[in-house]
Amino acid sequence: MGWDTLFDGKNLSNWNAIGDADWKLKEGAVVATKGNGFLVTKTSYVDFRIKVEFWVDEDGNSGVFIRCIDPQNVTGDTGYEVNIFDKRPDPTYGTGAIANVAKVDPMPKAGGKWNTYEITAQGSRFVVILNGTTTADAQDDKFKSGYIALQYAPGANDAGVVKFRRVEIIRL
């Protein structure tokens, strides 16, 4: 089995939107600038590697949620959040971290440029690679399977732009 494309910049047929984020297709990306919400996969996954290309401005707040057990209620209590938030008030779990599971130090900055996350979830092990550098490598067994969600939330100063342009997954 090879990589499956979940988002190619052209349509959102593999995703359901929840919340009120203003997701729009624009120039080969899906973009949000206001509201608060998620794009959630229509399929649940167990063990996988996902590649996500994203762009946030410096105020942006986003994340890639994995193994979300409830596709209608995506939170850090119902799945794992690989954070994208350069101005998070507590940078311990900022960009590159898995919120409440794997801290990041030093926190890399993602704002103002295209970035690539490669996230592996295999059994209880999680590895996060941002732009070729491992930022988190942790064990946790709270959630064994679930949906994947891309987040838009108000960031610093209740502002921020978030874009995703390519999302691919391979089952392990």
Q: Report domain extents, the chain.
A: 4-171
Give dist(CA 53, CA 92) in Å, integer.
23
Give dist(CA 163, CA 114) in Å, integer.
9
Residue 155: pLDDT band (50, 70, 90) is confident
Instruction: Judge whether residue 141 has pLDDT over 80.
Output: yes
Angle subtended at Cα 68 by Cα 42 and Cα 33, rounded to the nearest 5 degrees: 75
Residue 157: pLDDT band (50, 70, 90) is confident
E strands of 42-112, at which residues? 48-56, 61-68, 80-84
Q: What is the pLDDT of residues 53-84, one digit of tens each?
A: 999 999 999 999 999 999 999 999 999 999 99
Q: Give this prediction's pTM.
A: 0.97
Instruction: Judge whether residue 156 has pLDDT over 80.
Output: no
Give dist(CA 38, CA 57) in Å, integer.
18
Instruction: Give the pLDDT score at 159.
Output: 81
Token readout for 34 is 């206001």
Q: What is the pLDDT of residues 106-118, one digit of tens each?
A: 999 999 999 999 9
Burial degree of 156 (CB within 10 A; 0-12, 13-18, 19+) = middle
Instruction: Judge whether residue 158 has pLDDT over 90.
Output: no
Q: Are 35 and 153 in contact (CB under 8 A)?
A: no
- Structure-token match 């996969």, residue found: 41
What are the angstrom distances between the C-alpha of 79 and each of 36, 90, 160?
17, 20, 23
Q: Which CATH class is domain 4-171?
A: mainly beta
Token readout for 51 is 């590649």
Give the chain's mean pLDDT.
Answer: 96
Euclidean distance between the first and the last CA atom of the chain, given in angstroms as a whole number: 9
Mapped onto helix, strand or coil, the DSSP state of residue 92 is: helix
Instruction: Judge whether residue 1 has pLDDT over 80.
Output: no
